[in-house]
Chain A
Amino acid sequence: MKDVAFGQYYPVESFVHRLDPRLKLVFLIAYIVAIFLADSFCGLAVCAGALILIIAFARVPLRKILRSVRGILFLVVFTAVLNVLFYTGDTVWADWWIFTITKEGVIFSARLILRLILLVMCSCMLTYTTTPVALTDGIESLLTPLKWIRFPVHELALIMSIALRFIPILMDETERIKNAQKARGADFESGGLVKKVRAIIPILIPLLLSAFRRADELGDAMDARCYTGGKHRTKYKKLRFSWRDLIAFFLIAAVMTGVVLLRVYGWAPL
């Protein structure tokens, strides 16, 4: 069960943890744009440098961050190999049957690998350093302009935060039901695919029932407190920008400028 905890919040106090979630979201989007704008190793190095700075200040163990990359390792290697083999370029290094390995292909693949790794690491840094509640608050706040076209932003954010909140609860519940069925001799490990799928039924049915029961109870509890969404709600935790956010803002601004300058003026030996 612990493996599912991909990108789970890592509770420590740090500079990055205390940044405004809105800024972190904007940062992530800008960062993703930057790594795809960067068309040289110099540009990507700038991006990587920024990520290293963030990691240094986030106090999340490196082991954890690297583990998040492990999840996409197969995808990365797979795409890279395909690209090396099929990319058409001028400087041919090796040629065999339908495969040609060119200098351009190798460089292209290397950039792709770097991009993917940076992308995953940066996204994970967001979820490692931001609680789900702060994240949905941030999204709600960023989506506020959509309220003008009557888009139910608040309700969307509420659905998101409830869904996120329920993940650990349902995971606990799964564990409990699994244990209860194991105690009755259920076997989830051995057997072929069909047998394994069938073995899930005694977990799935009680789990679904309990999810519905919890949803009902939550609905009742919200009704009992006269919950209504909408514009008159105030927030327990107000989002505020601080000097930290200003520093982070300058960092992303610097990265963006660097990447764009490198691209436009083309000082790119590689």
Chain B
Amino acid sequence: MRITAEHLSYTYNAGSPFACAALKDVSLTIEEGEFFGMIGHTGSGKSTFVQHLNGLLRVPSSLKKYKKKKLKKGQTPPPETVLTVGEFDLTNKKTDFRALRKHVGMVFQYPEYQLFADTVEADVAFGLKNFSEKKPTDEEKKAAVKAALEIVGLSYEELKDKSPFELSGGQKRRVAIAGVIVTRPEVLVLDEPAAGLDPLGKKEVMELLHKLHREWCKTVVIVSHDMDEISENCTRAAVFSEGNVKYVLPPKELFSHSEELLALGLDIPLTARLSAALKKRGVELDCDFTVDSFVESVLRLNGGASAENEVAPEQTETAPEWKGGAE
């Protein structure tokens, strides 16, 4: 399912003294099969954008009225808002949003706080029950819950009868993710999936997402403010700032805009910072800013040195001397 947004704007509490424009004329296309990243700091509009993707926030109908009025007066018509996810036209009020939600799974920030049922099995099956046309049989339910729990790396037999509130933080989050993917959505949207986890937990969650991307969900969209997370994992990333999309680029090209990113108050990955520091001293690196490719290109600098030659910390200090080996 291809996701297309054109001229999308959204204002919270429109028409009151609390009004706050969260999205201003955002245009963005996410192709099927992408592992798409959205980055921006708090209040940049990225979460607002993803909440549109399964109709939790709607394109306000007043926008259309406004458009008609303007046209009558013969002024320049404002650009038409377009928002489609696959077949679904999200600007149309009559769209079946429940059907849409079946295809677009949404994992909110701290999803473990949405657990509610007595048992893990019942909680994971919640979505399944809601989306099925007819009541699923016990076997169907069991099979689906088992598959969902297993793909997120939990044991069905061990956990199914436990209360979700007895689990550890990491397990709770996995159960919550299982509760969303149990209906096999084609698009999976995650808002800060690794927030509040320790480094190992973060790594595991990202590995889980790649596994899901390979096996279950065609398109994965993650929202994050951690540059390393985005640069390591995404095929493309959109940079949000103050309700606008500044760039949509693969991470490799994105981080050649390091200075602009810093100006927007965003962090850049460690590898990008290192190559920027090297660039300042006249060493150009050709890498896509993943740790592996960074190490490769540093090693290549050393006159094609083999991988056995470890790069010791003090050697990085002498980087300018390697100038000749850069090409």
Contact = CB atoms under 8 A, between A and B. Distances in A.
B251 interface: no
B101 interface: yes
Nearest to A205: B116
A201 B114 CA distance: 11
A181 B117 CA distance: 12
Contact of A202 (B51, B101, B108, B126): B126
A187 B98 contact: yes
Interface string B16-28: 0110000000000
Given A12-B17, A206-B114, A210-B113, A183 B98 contact: no
Given A10-B17, A11-B17, A201-B116, A183 B130 contact: no
Given A10-B17, A11-B17, A202-B126, A183 B101 contact: yes
A179 B101 CA distance: 11
Contacts of B183: 185
Nearest to A173: B113
B261 to A, nearest CB: 29
Given A183-B105, A185-B183, A206 B51 contact: no
Interface string A9-45: 0111000000000000000000000000000000000
Contact of A185 (B17, B18, B56, B130): B130
B113 A206 contact: yes
B106 interface: yes
A11 B19 CA distance: 12
Contacts of B179: 184
Contacts of A180: 106, 108, 111, 114
B113 A183 contact: no
A201 B117 CA distance: 9
B108 A179 contact: yes
A186 interface: yes
Contacts of B101: 182-185
B250 interface: no
A209 B183 CA distance: 26
Interface string B89-120: 00000000010011001101001011111000
B54 A183 contact: yes
A176 interface: yes
A176 B108 contact: yes
B116 A202 contact: yes
A185 B102 CA distance: 7
A205 to B, nearest CB: 4
Contacts of B18: 11
B131 A185 contact: yes
Contacts of A10: 17
Interface in A170-221: 176-177, 179-187, 201-202, 205-206, 209-210
Nearest to B130: A185
A165 B300 CA distance: 59
Given A12-B17, A185-B98, A177 B113 contact: yes
Instruction: Find the residue from B17, B54, B114, B165 having the highest chain A CB count within 10 A.
Output: B114
B194 interface: no
B127 interface: yes
16 contacts: A11-B18, A179-B51, A180-B106, A181-B114, A183-B54, A183-B105, A183-B180, A184-B101, A184-B127, A185-B98, A185-B101, A186-B126, A186-B130, A187-B98, A202-B114, A205-B116
Interface of B: 17-18, 51, 54, 56, 98, 101-102, 105-106, 108, 111, 113-117, 126-127, 129-131, 165, 179-180, 183
Closest 9 pairs (CB-CB, A-B): A185-B130, A184-B127, A183-B106, A205-B116, A180-B114, A185-B131, A180-B108, A202-B116, A179-B56
Given A180-B114, A183-B180, 15 more contacts: A12-B17, A177-B114, A179-B51, A182-B56, A183-B54, A183-B105, A185-B98, A185-B130, A185-B183, A187-B98, A187-B130, A201-B116, A202-B117, A206-B113, A209-B165
Interface of A: 10-12, 176-177, 179-187, 201-202, 205-206, 209-210
